[in-house]
Amino acid sequence: MRVLVVGGAGYIGSVTVDQLVASGHAVTVIDSLVGGHTSALNPECEFTQGDIRDEAVLGRLFAAHTFDAVINYGGYIQAGESVQQPGRYFANNVAGAIDLLNAMVTYDVKRFVFSSSAAVYGEPESVPIAEDAPLRPVNPYGESKLMVERMLPWYESRFGLHSVSLRYFNAAGATEERGEDHRPETHLIPNVLQVPLGKSESLALYGTDYPTRDGTCVRDYIHVSDLAAAHLLALDYSEKGSGVFNLANGVGFTNREVIESARRVTDHPIPVSEGPRRPGDPAELVASNERARAELGWSIEFDELDAIVGSAWRWHQSHPDGYQD
C-alpha cells in the first residue's frame, strides 16, 4: 500500500512510519514540523515539509501519488493551551482535517485513520471508559477531535470514505530510535526523567488529595509501539468499514506509581515538589480496550509500567537533548 502519513515526523507518527516501512508499505509523510523533527523521519519514507491547510501543497502531493490510505496525526496537542487559544486549535485540528478529507474525496482515496483522543470523553462518569460513554469534552482540544470524528460518517455516507478513529489514552515510552520530544513537554514520564537526566532538580506533582489509592491522579499509559501497531490494524480494518476504538492499556497507574517506577528504572531518588490540583485534571482516566482487541485483533506487548518507563529512559539517555534539529 502507499500510505500518506500526516505528522509522520512527530512522536507517534514517526514510530508508525517505521512500522509501515518495516511491513513493506510505501510511505509519504507531510509534516509542517511545527511539532515534529526531521531526524525522527525514517530514511526510507518520502518527505514533504508543508501544512495540510496549504491547498497547493496538498494538491501537488495527491496529484503526484496514488494513495491507498491516509493516516492523520497532524494537529496541535496541548489541552491547556487550547483553552487559551481555541481558534488556533479549531483552525489546525478541524479545518486542517477538512482540507485533508476534501483532497481525499477529490483524488478518490477511501481509507482514513484518525488520531483522536481520550479528551473526547471529558470527565468520565465511571471507569473503565468504553467507547459508548458520554462524549463531553472539557477543552477545545477534545472538542476539535470530537468535531472531526463527527464529520467522518457524513463523508462515508456521501463518498464511501471509510474511517477509523483511534482514541488514545496516554502515549508513552520509546523505541531504540524514536522517542518523545515535545517542546514544551507536558507529559508526565518525559518530565519525570528530566530529573535523573540532570535537566531539572525535582518533579512538580499537582494534586495529592484526589480520591485515588494514593491521592494522585490515575492515568492509562500505552506504549507508543503498541499504539503504532494498532494503526496498521486500523488500515486493514478500513478496507471493509469504519469504526471508533479506544487505544488503552486498560490498567491505570497513579502519578506516584509512575515516579516510583522511574526511581526503580533509573536508580535515582527523583525529588518531588507537591502542589495543588490543576483545574480540569480528572481523578481517574482508564479505558476499556475490549473493542480494539475483539474487532481490530489488537494485543498489547508492553503491559508493565517499568517496561514502558525503561524504554523511555533508554531513549532519553541516548538523546539527552532530544532530537537535534
Ligand X SMILES: NC(=O)c1ccc[n+]([C@@H]2O[C@H](COP(=O)([O-])OP(=O)(O)OC[C@H]3O[C@@H](n4cnc5c(N)ncnc54)[C@H](O)[C@@H]3O)[C@@H](O)[C@H]2O)c1
Q: Which residues bind ligand X (CB under 6 A)?
A: 6-7, 9-13, 30-36, 51-53, 73-75, 77, 92, 96, 115, 117, 168, 170-171, 182
Between 64 and 273, name the residue whose CB sits nearer to ligand X.
Answer: 64
Distance CA 259, CA 41 (A): 30
Least CB distance to ligand X at residue 9 (A): 5
How far apart are CB 247 and ligand X at their closest, in Å? 9
Burial (CB < 10 A; 0-12, 13-18, 19+), residue 40, is: buried
Q: How far apart are CB 10 and ligand X at their closest, in Å?
A: 2
Instruction: Pick the closer one to ligand X by CB: 33 or 307.
Output: 33
Nearer to ligand X, 251 or 268 (CB): 251
Q: Give min distance, CB of 213 to ligand X, in A.
A: 23
Q: Which residues participate in catalysis according to the annotation?
A: 141
Q: What is the distance between the alpha carbons of residues 118 and 227, in angstroms, rounded to a whole number? A: 13
Q: How many helices (H) and strands (E) does the chain have?
A: 11, 14
The contacts of residue 16 (CB under 8 Å, 6+ apart) are 5, 8, 71, 73, 227, 228, 231, 232
The minimum distance between CB 318 and ligand X, in angstroms, equals: 18
Q: Which of 101, 209, 171, 203 is nearest to 312 (CA)?
A: 171
Minimum CB distance to ligand X smaller for 32 or for 216: 32
Number of other residues whose CB lies within 10 A of the CB of residue 195: 21
Residue with cell 483522536: 116
Residue 221 beta carbon to ligand X: minimum distance, rounded to whole angstroms: 9
Confirm if 70 and 47 have CB atoms less than 8 A apart: no
Q: Which is nearer to ligand X, 51 or 123 (CB)?
A: 51
C-alpha grid cell, residue 276 = 495543588
Q: Within a 10 A sphere around the Cβ of 265, how many other Cβ atoms?
A: 21
Compare residues 160 and 303 and give the one whose CB is closer to ligand X.
303
The answer to whether the beta carbons of residues 205 and 272 sit under 8 Å apart is yes
32, 74 contact by CB (below 8 A): yes
Cell, residue 54: 496549504
Q: Could you give the angle at which helices 255-266 and 305-318 cross, rounded to 10 degrees?
A: 60
Are 145 and 135 a contacting pair, CB within 8 Å? no
Residue nearest to ligand X (CB): 10
